[in-house]
Structures are given as structure tokens and as C-alpha cells.
Structure 1
């Protein structure tokens, strides 16, 4: 009796345990229904975007900001062939089990025990979807999380909703996700039009998208396709004969450009302008992106596809022609002056050539701009009245002391100097020293503020960081910023953002017009003056077009970057040629690197209709000036040109026609073989007035000082030293043995003369080498 009682107690106790376990299992199984995941909860907002050019021609379907190329389609818009193929390959009994397929679990477990390794998986489509939504480590705890998420999906969604979410997220190689994106990318057709061969190939990819990459592992993919077809035969979707014919059917995949027809850099750049998804919920999505994510509307860009493809071809041809000069990369931008719309945008010769850094975007990359910023410093100096159009600037050696750095001595590409030059000549020939002198007048801080107004947002260092080299390209800017700034010149000071789509209207600005359009017109006039730039570029360079065009070149230090930016009344074109890896080019400057590309694009833009002439500077008057002095011509002036004047300067023009070079020209004049610069007086170039020299004992007969003279001589030259005439027939130069004392040197020629004073002192020590020392000058 006791035994029966004990047995009953044990049964009762066991029943409680079983009931408790069952209750726990029931609670666990029911919990997902208290936290179901519904289709709306996992709706895909980050979708691939389709782009067209300004005329509706397709440019391509592109990645979203998170780099997933996804297009969402309803289940009823997917080819039944693909549905059957993916179910046969991944989960043939999908519609007959829950989140887990217990038969598959048991089968996989037996196979693993028998083989002592995992032979096959038991993941259902629902579990795979869970893994797509929340990737977890392949551990026991990770698998439990995956199962939990699968139960929640089943609790909130029906089978069709789960399958739809799954096929729209399938990894299809690279960054392509979903059957629609794969069909469009690989075959340029919608998923609804996939035939059996195409569908079975696409269904083979998700098992291992890298291993079965159609561009790199075609044979592997074909083997996997045969497996998919065999599974479809087993599931009685197709016959064995159809499977055999399908496996040998020729299927052509599109190129690896992934459905991009033109302007890849532009499309990727534009896609990255999309703000994070949470902004959509606040109604802050930009107008040009509203509706794109949900209904797959096509984004109509400002690009002109035929022009874009022409520019892409020219970039490749120019780079090919410069290959021997170690040139590998280039970029170009074409803007409509009237609207600010981007018509062509090329970031590199070949976006899809990863080995040659093709994905680098030369339009947005930050590089040193060389001399392309010079027009803006001249404009600012003219605007502030620091220089006039006829101002003479000194293109002579100059030296600037910079705290904590070496002496700054700017030179030109040719390392030569032209002496006195007009503003027009200095700008048109891109002379460095005059530009630095003008920046010194303007001030680096003031110039930097103007550059910020023009949109150079990446010039964000302090004025001290850039120094006077800012006008020569010591900062870093992008081709995009340069094009926008030159568009401002073309629009006569009317600054406007660049427009990339037809719905993204430019943001209003408080004051988009920079002051004084007359000055911008004057800068345009100088930049379009082919004769003015002839000294540096010749009269028949690639910068000279058969119609009016303003243009500026630039070359960065060590020849790492060359630029050409210019405009007509219709278009602004900006080009860059260089190397993304920073290697210097060989024997390539702005006029030989980027200018030929600029030339080709400009000629193409205007092949059917020439642009209008630039308007003359409003309110200014043209007067003849001596080309050298910038003043009213004298009878002995050998070259007369026209230059613009402010009306208020006309009285000075009538009064002044004498030109004397100040002392800063002495060093330069001393090196000239002959002087073409008129002067009313002779000039003693050596010694300088106030110089002091040391004479070393025992060196009296060896230390000599050169007396050097320049200027127009109306009569024979006479040299006088301390009132005594020197016995010499020398005219421009003679050598005198140093003697201690204070000396006054005078040169006379007819009624003209010049006089300087200097002194010579005895030194207390012998020199370490022959020569003499200047104490003070």
C-alpha cells in the first residue's frame, strides 16, 4: 500500500514538473505575441534611388547613404520563377511550418552526429530574415536571439509578408540587396520579367554572395544554379528536361558598373546628401528626395547626359595623352551660368577602376589651387581702392620675414621677373610677386573673409596659417568650390549655389550679391584679354578660343595639381589634372595639364552657337596709356595700349605722364642688359645711398666697388667723387678701389644727374676670404 502511495506521489510530483515545464514552454511561446513585429515595423525606408538627366534619360540606379542598393517591390510583382527558385533553394516547406522547421532541425542534428560536423543547416526563411534584421554571432546565445526574433516575426506577420520582406533584403552580391535591385542591376529588367534561367541564377547568389559573385566566380555560380534547378525538379516546379535546357542557356550579365550609365561620382555624391531617416519623421526631408524612398520616384538631375558622356570621354583621352608625364587623374565640372545648374560632373577617368583609385572624387577632393585664387585678391584690392586698373606693380625679387620660418621669397614658374607691370599684365600672366604684394595691401584676414563669402568653406584655418602664400595656393580647396567662385565672376558678383536637381531650390541668402559689379566686369575683361597674357602663355595657346572666354590657370607646388577654370557668358568650366596619390607630374603646368581639357569642353559647348561678348566695365572709360608706365603716353613711349580708368582719375591722367621707378626696382634693374623704362633722371644702382663698407688692411688693391648706372643719357656720362671728376670713359659701370672715408658719388649726363653717399671704414681683423663687407644698407 505504501509502495502504491509513494508511486502516486511520484507521479503527482512528476506531473507537476511536466505541467510546470509545459506552462513555461507555453508562456515562452506566447510571449512573442505580446511583442509582435509587424510588416510596418520593418518597412525599408533606405531604398536605392533612380536618377535621370535633365531630359529624362536614365543615369542609373544607385546606392543609398548606407551603401545598400535596395529596391522594394510587392510579392505579386516578382516573377513566379524566382519565388519557386528561392523557396526550393532555401526553404521548400516554408508555407508548411512555423518559425522553425522541426523536421529540418532533427535531420540536421542526425547528420551532424553521424558526420561529427555540421553538414547542413536548418535555418528557415523566417530565421534568415531575423538574421538580416539583427545580425548576431554564430553562438548558442546568438541562435537563441535569432529564434526569439523569428517567433516575433511569425506573431506579427503572415507568410506572404515574411517572404516579401525576405526577398527584398536578399544579399545579391556586392552591395546589391533584393531581387528587384539585382534584376535591374544585372539584367536591366524588373523582377517581374525574370525568366527561369535568370531567376535560378539570382536564387543561387544569396547562399554565399561573395563566393558566387557572377563577375568573379562564374563557374561556381553555374554549379549552384544546377543545384537550384534540381531542387525545383524535386519540388515539381519544373521537369528535368527543362532544368537541363535552362542550365546551358546563355545568360548575359551587365557590366560591373552595376547599372550606372553615366556620372557615377555625381550620383554617389548626390545620394550622400540624403539626411538621416529620423529627419523624415520631422518633415525635414529635402524636396528633391520626398517620395523617393517609398514609391521609387526617379530623381531628375540637372546633368545633360550626352554632354556628361562627352566630358567623360575627353577626360580619359587627355589623361591618356599625358601618361608619359606621369599623369593619371583628372576631373571636370560644367555649370550653366544663367541658373547655376551642374551640366556635367566627372570625378575621375574611370570610377570603376579601383586599382587606379577611380572612386576618388576629384570634384570634391581638397587640393592646393595654385594661382586660381588670384583674381579674387585683385578684385578685392580694386574694390577697396588699394589699386587702380592702371596701377604699376613691382614684379621684382621680394623677401618677407615670417616668424619661426625661413625667409619667404616668392618667385614665378619661370623664376624670372618682368619689373614694372600693370595690374592687367600681372593677373593675366599669373605673376606671383605682384599678387603677394597686393595681398599684403589687402590683408590676409580680409581676403580670407572674402573667400568665405565666395563659398570656400574648407579654408578654415587662421590667417597666420596661410600667410601671404594664400593667394598662391597655400590652402586647400575643391574643384566644386572653385567653379562656384568663378561662376560668381561670370554672374558679375551675383553669388549663387550650384544646383544639382530640379527640385532642390537654392537656399535663400541674406546678401547673395557681392558689391560693385563693375569690378567683377573689369576682372572678367582682364581674364579674357589674350594679348595681356601673351607674355606667359603666347598669343596662340589653348587658352585662346575663337570666341570671348575668361580663364585662369593654376599649378600647385611640386607640380602635383594643375587647374584651369574659366567661363563664357553661357557656361563655366572647371578642370583639374593631377594624381590622387600625390605624385608630382613631369613637365606639366596648368596650361599643358588641365587647359587642353578645358579647351575641348569649351569648344564642344559652343560648337553650334558662339557666346555673346562680355559687357564692358560699367561706368569706366578707356584711355590710351604707355604699356610700361600705365600713364598718358609720351612721345618716346614705344608701346601704347588702352586701359580702363575711373572717371574721377581722368584729371590725374591728363596731368601725369612721367614715370620714375622707386628704389625697390634697383636690384632688378641692375640685372637688366638694357633698360626700356623711361626716367627723367639717371639712377645710380650701386652703391645704395647710405651704404657702409669695411676695408680690410692689406686688401686695399684687391677690394673694389662697382659704380653702376641706368637711365636715358642725353650726353656722355661723367662720374664725380667728392667733387672731383673721375678720369674714365665708362658709361653704365666702372670699378673703384675702396679707400677709407665718407664719399659722395655723382653721375651726370647733360642736365640729368643722380647722387648717393656712402662710407668706407677700416676693419680691425683680416677677412677670412677675399672681398668686402657691407655694414649697413
Structure 2
């Protein structure tokens, strides 16, 4: 009796245990329904993007940000042959079991026990999808995580949704994922058009994409295809006879068409980064899989070839990199975009994008400071600017003394000559009149958003390129110039696409971007930049900047010859080029006209090969009058060079008046170094010493320290030098050297009725000089030597 009672108690306890186990299992199985994974949760947003040029020619396909080439299609746009093939090969009972196929689990377990090794797997399509979404280690805990995610997928998605997510993620060899990407890559057809032979081959790849790579292991893949076809027969999708007949009659040819990028790689990668990481249907692309850009592929490939050729020709000058941009002035559309000679050459930093990189622009900003100065009436078209040595005190730094790379000075020059020849000192003088703050604000209006430092940071060197800008910004600003002050955004895709690059107004919303109140001045600047004769002093008449049609152009060279630029436009196109080195190494004997200009020249000639551009309109409302090239005033009988220049009508009265021209004292240092100065000054002038100078005489060096007396101007009679009322005995008319002696001195030069007089002082010094040649003018210490 006790034995029976004990047995009943054991059965009771066992039932409770079994019931408890069943309840726990039920709870575990129901938990996924409290955390289901739905189709929207695993939507593929980071997809490969296909691009075409403006005429539909393919430019290439970019991978997703994780470098996977993926194209997503709905299940109803996939060939039934492929669906049957992949189901037969991977999970024949997919529609008849849940997340797990218990029959397959039991079968695989028996086979493993009998063979003492794993003979076949039991993974379902749902479990494979789970591994694609969340790869886990092949361990017991990893398998539990895989099962858990599979249950959650089943709880939130129906069979078609699971199958659709699966076939769009299938590894199809290399970095190709999904049946659509595979069909397009291997056969150049959409997945909906796959025939039985193609479908069975593609369904064979996912089992081991590397082992069955169609380009490397064709025979292996054919053997796997036979397995797939046999499984399709077993699952009754096809009959054996049909499989044999169709796979023999349906030819399979794997395409050798270009894969990846065909043209404009830098542009495509830059453009892809403008696309937000959201589903395609939310981006506005609709069902379109190809993004139509503004690029003209034949032009793009021509520019790419020219970049490589120009760089090759400059290799001996330590030049390795270049970039180019072509814009349609009428629409702002980007027609060509080359960021480097070879994007795919990583050893030469080919992935660097020279269009977007920030570099010092050299002199390419000068036209904008001249335009602003003319707009504010700080200078006039006939203003004479001083191209003579100048020094500017900068707090906490050395004296700033701008020079041209030739280290020569031209003296008095017209605005036209100063800008056309890219003279540095006149440009700095003009910026000094405008003000760095005002000029910086104008550059912001023009879209130079990367010039974001304070005016003090850039200083007067801003007009010579002390800031950093991109080729993109330069091209956009010159498009504004070509459009006479009207700013438009640069466009990279067409209107049915959501991408349109920012305009000045978008990058600087508080700025006034259209500068159309000065249309005439923009026309004048264009007129100067297109004047081949005006730039002849620096570039010659027959330079690469001189084209057989009207074109405005500006070159630039950064400090230490690290960057060369050429930006110019016709009425139709703006072309911007950069030549330099990404690693910052200086080039050898290369300037803007020898570096970037030849590339610019080739592109411009190609653009206008079949049709010349229209002429630039002359500056509206201005009149042309003859002027003396040296003085900028009405010519006199003594003027040796007469040219035409534009005037405002209101300046004509002043033009008819005084035409006497005398150089101010700032020219003295320059005049002192000229062989002939009579052409530029009608009066006698003592150039050295200056009035009020103080010189120190060091003991023991009385015979070594000499002061040069130098004179400039027209001489009506022989020159006489007088010092403190005593005539000096000299045969030298324009220059002589005098031994320093302590005292206060008055120096006078006489020629007929003309004369000039200065006073200076010499004192004995108490100490030996530590550095000879030290000189400070205007009542400060000087120590001169011959």
C-alpha cells in the first residue's frame, strides 16, 4: 500500500514538473511576440546607388557605406524560377514550418550521431536571415541567439516578407548582395527576367560564395547548379526532362561589362554623401534605381584624360596632382568634375578630392577686391596704383612686405594693368582701402563659407590667398562673376532628383548674395580679365591664357609654389583647374600660367571646338577716353604711351581739367633704383636722403660710412649739388656718395630754375654697430654703407 501511495506521489510530482516545463516552454515561445521584428525594422536603407550622366549613359554604381553592393526589389519582381531554385536549394519546406524545421533538426541529429560528424544542416531560411542580420559565433550560445531572433522574425513577419528580406541579402560573390544586384552585375538584366539556367546558377552561389565564384570557379559552380536542379525536381518545381532541356538551350553568358565606376568617381562619392540615409521611397527617387546627374560623360572622360596628360608632362617639375571643374553658366549645372588624376591609385593619394579640398587660392581672389573697391568708388578705372615697395606693421609679427614672385616693381600702374598682371602690392593697397572686414563679408556673399576666421587672422594677405578655399567655391564665385553678380546654386542632379547643392544664400542665409547693383562694374572686371594686351607684361601676348575667342581668366599661385590655379569663363562655361601636390610638397619652376593654365586651356578649347562663345558686352554707361598710360590723365605732348580707358561720365569734367602728374613720396624708393626716371617725374626730386633722416656715425668707421645722394626728374641744365650752402665738386648728375660727418645738414640739388632741398642730421654713436645696414627713416637711426 505504501508502495502504491509512493508511486502516486511520484507521478503527481512528475506531472507538476512536466507541467512546469511545458509552461516555461510556452512562455519562452510566446516571448518573441512581445518583441517582434517587423519588415520595417530591417528595411535596407543603405543601398548601392547607380548613376547616369545627363544623357542616360552609365557613370557607375557605388556600394553602400559598408561597401556592400545591394539592390532591393519586391518579391513580385523576382523571377519565379529563382524563387523556386533558392527554396529548393536552401529550404524546401519553408512555407510549411515555423522558424525551426523540427523534422530537419531530428534528421540532422540522427545523421550526426550515426556518422559521428555533422552531415547536413538544419538551418531554415528564417535562421539564415537571422545570421545575416546578426552574425553570431558558431557555438551553443550563438545558436540560441540565432533561434531567438528567428522566433522574433516569425512573430513579426509573414513568410513572403521573410523570403523577400532573405533574397535581397543573399551573398552572391565578392561584395555583391541580393538577387537583383547579382542579376544586374552578372547578366545585365533585372531579377524578374532570370531564366531557369540563370536562376539555378545564381541560387547555387550563396551556399559558398567564394568557393563558387563564377569568374574563378566555373566548373564548381556548374556542379552546384546540378544539385540545385535536382532539388527542384525533387520539390516538383520542374521535371527532370525540362531541367535537362532548358539548361542546355538557355545560354548563360556572364557579362564582362565594366563593374563599379566608369567615370567621375570623386563626383559620385561626393554626391552619395549628400543623400540622407533613409529609404529610397522616402528620398523622392520613387521606383527609379538610377540617379541622373548633370555630368556629361564624354566631356568628363576628356577632362580626366587631360588631367592625366598634363600631370605626366609636369612630372619632372615634381607635380603629381590636379583637379578640374566645368560649370554651365546659364544653369549652374556641373558638367565635369575631376578630383585627382587617378582615384583608384591609393599610393598616390588618389582618393583625395582636389575639388573639395581646402588650399590657398593665390591671386584668384584679387578680382573680387577690385570689384568691391570700384563699387565703393574707392578707385576709378583710370586710377594709378603704386607698384612700389611697401611695408605694413602687423602687431606681434614682422613687417609685412608684399612682393611679386619676380621681385620686380613696375612703379605707377593703372587698375587694369595691376589686375590683369596680378600685381601683389597694388592689390594689397586696394584691400587696405576697402578693409579686410568688408572684403571678407563680400567673400562670404560669394559663397566662400570656409573663410570662417576673423579678419585679423587673414590680414592684408587675404587678397593674395592667405585663407583656404576649395576649387568648388572658386568656380561658384566665378560663375557669379560671369552672371554679372547674380548668384545661383551649382546643380549636380536634375529637377526630378532631390539633390541640389547649396547656393550662397543657403550657405550664408544672412548675407545678400546677388550683387547685381554693380552690373557695370562686373562687366568692367570681365573686360579687364579678358584683355590679352593688358596682361602681356606678366604673361606675354601669346600665352596659354590667350584663346581665339573672348574669355576672362585669372591665375593664382600659393606661397612656396604648392598650389597653382586657373579659373576663367566665357559667356557659356566656367572652367576651374588646380595643379599641385596633395602631400604639400612645393613644385619646381611651376606657376599658375605653367601649371594649371595649360589644363584650363585644353578644356576651354574643347568646349568651344564647334561653336565660339558670344562676346562679352562692354561696360554699360561708361565711355572710353584716351589717357596717358603712366599718369591715367589726359595725354600731354610729353606722354610716350597713349591708351584707351573707361570713364564714368561724371569724371569727364575732371579729365578735361588738370593733367599735371607728380609722383608722391611713396615712389621715392622705387625711383631711386630706376635707370631712367625722367619719364615719370617732371620735377627734380632728391630721393636719398629723406627729409628729416637721422644717421649714426660709429667711431673708427668714419671713412667707411657713406651716404648716397640720389636725384630723379627732368633736368633742364647740368645738376649742381649744394650742402649747407657749399657747392660740392662732382661730375655725377644723378648720384654721388658722401662721407658721413656729424652735424645738421641741408642738401640742395639745382638744375636751371628747378631745385629740391632736404635736411638731415648725423650724430656720433656711443656703441659699435652689431649689424651693418640697419636703417630706420624719419627722425630715427640710420646706418648706411655703399
Q: With structure 2 as the length reference, what TM-score do the two structures score?
A: 0.88
Task: Give the corresponding residue for 1:14.
Answer: 14
Mapping 1:413-562, distance limit 5 Å: 413-503=405-495, 511-514=512-515, 515-562=517-564
Once the two structures are superposed, what CA deviation does each residue of 1:554-588 show, in whole Å capped at 9, x if it has no partner? 12222222211111111111112222233332222
Work out whether 1:251 is the aligned partner of 2:254: yes
1:331 to 318, 323, 326: 323
Specify whether residues 722 and 64 from structure 1 end up closer, same or farther in structure 2 by C-alpha distance, changes over 3 A only: same
- For the Cα contact (< 8 Å) 1:36–1:155, is it kept in 2? yes
Once the two structures are superposed, what CA deviation does each residue of 1:231-268 show, in whole Å capped at 9, x if it has no partner? 32552557998999899987344334x1x333332233
Specify whether residues 546 and 638 from structure 1 end up closer, same or farther in structure 2 by C-alpha distance, changes over 3 A only: same
| CA deviation after TM superposition for structure 1 residue 77, in Å | 3.2
| CA deviation after TM superposition for structure 1 residue 688, in Å | 1.3
Task: Give the corresponding residue for 1:776.
Answer: 781
- For the Cα contact (< 8 Å) 1:531–1:539, is it kept in 2? yes
Work out whether 1:185 is the aligned partner of 2:185: yes
- For the Cα contact (< 8 Å) 1:203–1:228, is it kept in 2? no
Once the two structures are superposed, what CA deviation does each residue of 1:135-171 show, in whole Å capped at 9, x if it has no partner? 5566655543332221122234343332221111234
**Mean alpha-carbon deviation: is it higher for 49-58 or for 437-446?**
49-58
User: What is the aligned-residue RMSD (CA, Å)?
Assistant: 3.3
Task: Give the corresponding residue for 1:694.
Answer: 696
- For the Cα contact (< 8 Å) 1:49–1:296, is it kept in 2? no
In the alignment, the residues of structure 1 paired with residue 208 and residue 591 of structure 2 have an alpha-carbon distance, to the nearest angstrom, of: 49
| CA deviation after TM superposition for structure 1 residue 531, in Å | 0.7
In the alignment, the residues of structure 2 paired with residue 326 and residue 93 of structure 1 have an alpha-carbon distance, to the nearest angstrom, of: 66
| CA deviation after TM superposition for structure 1 residue 550, in Å | 0.3
Mapping 1:265-344, distance limit 5 Å: 265-277=266-278, 289-290=283-284, 292=285, 294-296=286-288, 298-344=290-336
In the alignment, the residues of structure 2 paired with residue 213 and residue 401 of structure 1 have an alpha-carbon distance, to the nearest angstrom, of: 73
Aligned length: 762
Task: Give the corresponding residue for 2:573.
Answer: 571
**Mean alpha-carbon deviation: is it higher for 388-397 or for 488-497?**
388-397
- For the Cα contact (< 8 Å) 1:302–1:502, is it kept in 2? yes
In the alignment, the residues of structure 2 paired with residue 132 and residue 578 of structure 1 have an alpha-carbon distance, to the nearest angstrom, of: 45
Task: Give the corresponding residue for 1:144.
Answer: 144
Task: Give the corresponding residue for 2:607.
Answer: 605
**Partner-residue secondary structure (3-state), 1:589:** coil
In the alignment, the residues of structure 1 paired with residue 153 and residue 773 of structure 2 have an alpha-carbon distance, to the nearest angstrom, of: 95
Task: Give the corresponding residue for 1:754.
Answer: 756
- For the Cα contact (< 8 Å) 1:37–1:155, is it kept in 2? yes
**Partner-residue secondary structure (3-state), 2:335:** strand
Task: Give the corresponding residue for 1:363.
Answer: 355
**Partner-residue secondary structure (3-state), 2:127:** helix
| CA deviation after TM superposition for structure 1 residue 297, in Å | 5.1
2:221 to 222, 225, 233: 225
In the alignment, the residues of structure 2 paired with residue 274 and residue 55 of structure 1 have an alpha-carbon distance, to the nearest angstrom, of: 21
Task: Give the corresponding residue for 2:28.
Answer: 28
Once the two structures are superposed, what CA deviation does each residue of 1:347-378 show, in whole Å capped at 9, x if it has no partner? 22233333433332222222221111111111
- For the Cα contact (< 8 Å) 2:195–2:250, is it kept in 1? no
Specify whether residues 222 and 556 from structure 1 end up closer, same or farther in structure 2 by C-alpha distance, changes over 3 A only: farther
Mapping 1:172-211, distance limit 5 Å: 172=172, 176-194=176-194, 202-203=202-203, 206=206
Q: With structure 1 as the length reference, what TM-score do the two structures score?
A: 0.89
Specify whether residues 143 and 406 from structure 1 end up closer, same or farther in structure 2 by C-alpha distance, changes over 3 A only: farther
| CA deviation after TM superposition for structure 1 residue 118, in Å | 8.1
| CA deviation after TM superposition for structure 1 residue 736, in Å | 1.2
In the alignment, the residues of structure 2 paired with residue 683 and residue 121 of structure 1 have an alpha-carbon distance, to the nearest angstrom, of: 104
Specify whether residues 554 and 698 from structure 1 end up closer, same or farther in structure 2 by C-alpha distance, changes over 3 A only: closer
Mapping 1:525-674, distance limit 5 Å: 525-674=527-676
Specify whether residues 368 and 224 from structure 1 end up closer, same or farther in structure 2 by C-alpha distance, changes over 3 A only: farther
In the alignment, the residues of structure 1 paired with residue 174 and residue 721 of structure 2 have an alpha-carbon distance, to the nearest angstrom, of: 86
Task: Give the corresponding residue for 1:709.
Answer: 711
Task: Give the corresponding residue for 2:391.
Answer: 399
Once the two structures are superposed, what CA deviation does each residue of 1:411-432 show, in whole Å capped at 9, x if it has no partner? 2122222222111111111111
In the alignment, the residues of structure 2 paired with residue 698 and residue 712 of structure 1 have an alpha-carbon distance, to the nearest angstrom, of: 39
Task: Give the corresponding residue for 2:154.
Answer: 154
**Mean alpha-carbon deviation: is it higher for 178-187 or for 59-68?**
59-68
Task: Give the corresponding residue for 2:237.
Answer: none
Task: Give the corresponding residue for 2:236.
Answer: none
In the alignment, the residues of structure 2 paired with residue 769 and residue 570 of structure 1 have an alpha-carbon distance, to the nearest angstrom, of: 59
| CA deviation after TM superposition for structure 1 residue 222, in Å | 4.1
**Partner-residue secondary structure (3-state), 2:9:** helix
- Structure 2 gap segments, 5+ residues each: 234-239
In the alignment, the residues of structure 1 paired with residue 672 and residue 723 of structure 2 have an alpha-carbon distance, to the nearest angstrom, of: 21
Specify whether residues 19 and 560 from structure 1 end up closer, same or farther in structure 2 by C-alpha distance, changes over 3 A only: same
| CA deviation after TM superposition for structure 1 residue 534, in Å | 0.9
Task: Give the corresponding residue for 1:381.
Answer: 373
- For the Cα contact (< 8 Å) 1:693–1:772, is it kept in 2? no
**Partner-residue secondary structure (3-state), 2:475:** helix
In the alignment, the residues of structure 2 paired with residue 248 and residue 586 of structure 1 have an alpha-carbon distance, to the nearest angstrom, of: 59
Work out whether 1:98 is the aligned partner of 2:98: yes
In the alignment, the residues of structure 2 paired with residue 540 and residue 520 of structure 1 have an alpha-carbon distance, to the nearest angstrom, of: 25
- For the Cα contact (< 8 Å) 1:64–1:272, is it kept in 2? no
In the alignment, the residues of structure 1 paired with residue 645 and residue 43 of structure 2 have an alpha-carbon distance, to the nearest angstrom, of: 68
Specify whether residues 118 and 591 from structure 1 end up closer, same or farther in structure 2 by C-alpha distance, changes over 3 A only: farther
Specify whether residues 730 and 555 from structure 1 end up closer, same or farther in structure 2 by C-alpha distance, changes over 3 A only: same
| CA deviation after TM superposition for structure 1 residue 38, in Å | 4.0
**Mean alpha-carbon deviation: is it higher for 149-158 or for 601-610?**
149-158
**Partner-residue secondary structure (3-state), 1:295:** coil
Specify whether residues 425 and 174 from structure 1 end up closer, same or farther in structure 2 by C-alpha distance, changes over 3 A only: farther
**Partner-residue secondary structure (3-state), 1:235:** helix
Specify whether residues 759 and 38 from structure 1 end up closer, same or farther in structure 2 by C-alpha distance, changes over 3 A only: closer
**Partner-residue secondary structure (3-state), 2:651:** helix
**Mean alpha-carbon deviation: is it higher for 412-421 or for 496-505?**
496-505
Specify whether residues 725 and 645 from structure 1 end up closer, same or farther in structure 2 by C-alpha distance, changes over 3 A only: same
In the alignment, the residues of structure 1 paired with residue 212 and residue 612 of structure 2 have an alpha-carbon distance, to the nearest angstrom, of: 50
